[in-house]
A and B are shown apart, each in its own frame.
Chain A
């Protein structure tokens, strides 16, 4: 497959998954699961920025962030801001991150998700919106648990060459 085709199919998949992730974000869940709803959009963005950083980096993060803000009804720019910081970090470090074994990468994803939730917590705090601590910890736990599955799944979907093969 030519590089151009590959790029296009990646873009198509990214667009589709981005829409699905927003749908999953706003779909109502049972009460006991509400706090454990992972941030699907962020997980997608982290995957893309580690594996296909040339096409998907901070720009994608900003656009999806604004869409999530509007569909969730949060402050405009809140998720965009948090996504930007996290995705900047992961795309800067993508060469290291993509070479880590899955378990180690998952641990780092957990840390990244914590940083992300802290940014949300901080913005909410500054604008005077209170929430329980479990609503911040839940997505970290579920996101970490889901990461290995998600990254394997996306790995089969997207076409990219890992640096391991290349070097």
Chain B
């Protein structure tokens, strides 16, 4: 059997192409890991891929649209009534809030401290989450177009969720406080004890390392952001202490806390502009 030469499926310039591309991707890898040079490249590819992400998000959006459209009248009336009542309660609480804000500003003036109280808030939807179960990174549907910036604080109605990691034009990646690579400066609301809260890859536990055995910290203590790192504004709730075990043979107590935000159940997040 004779195989003609031009019948043999030879691949033109395979080795050269391979070597060039492998070197290129290796240098991409190294420069992406070490610093942020590639954010422009990544951003532009993200924009190109936006239709795909929208496609993936479509069924979810359709479901919630149908949920809203085909809701029963009775339910709407019931919900409306409940909301009215809630509004009244909130209004009553707000009356006190106004005077508290005034008092707070006065006290801060006395203390000579200046902290912005009114933060600018934007609401963003989470369009994809997932990926590696150990990296808690989500994608939200707002980007530089909506004046988001890297490091912007992300909260939900119950507490701090995370921060923006990488903005692009139409969407942004954000890291949750439960990611193993994330830590944020916090303080115990009761007594101002300062420490940090580290993610450990689980949605319902944060590690609180470096707490001395004799520190005043108890189960049920609320941890709030201390604002010391300069990234998170002060005073937002982060987590509740749910375990403190002190072992005299160890240097530090073993403390863990449960995030007040339900990190794996949120659909919308609020982005606080404190620049």
Which A residues form the contact surface with B (CB < 8 A)?
Answer: 19, 22-23, 26-28, 34-35, 53-54, 57-59, 61-62, 65-67, 70-78, 80-81, 84-85, 88, 91-92, 94-95, 123, 127, 129-132, 135, 163, 166-167
Contacts and interface: CB of A to CB of B under 8 A. Distances in A.
28 contacts: A22-B49, A22-B52, A26-B56, A26-B128, A26-B130, A27-B56, A54-B11, A57-B11, A57-B17, A58-B17, A62-B24, A62-B25, A73-B135, A73-B139, A76-B29, A76-B42, A77-B26, A80-B25, A84-B22, A91-B11, A123-B29, A127-B33, A129-B134, A129-B135, A131-B133, A135-B133, A166-B7, A167-B3
Interface of B: 1, 3, 7, 9, 11-12, 14, 17-18, 21-22, 24-29, 32-33, 38, 41-42, 45-46, 49, 52-53, 55-56, 128-135, 137, 139, 173, 180, 201
A73 B127 CA distance: 13
Contacts of A28: 56, 128-130
A135 B132 contact: yes
Given A26-B52, A28-B129, A62-B25, 5 more contacts: A22-B52, A59-B17, A62-B21, A123-B29, A127-B33
A61 B27 CA distance: 17
By DSSP majority rule, is chain A's interface helix, strand, loop, or mixed? helix
A92 B14 contact: yes
B242 to A, nearest CB: 23
Contacts of A58: 14, 17-18, 21
A133 B132 CA distance: 12
A72 B56 CA distance: 13
A33 B247 CA distance: 39
A19 B11 CA distance: 25
Nearest to B32: A76
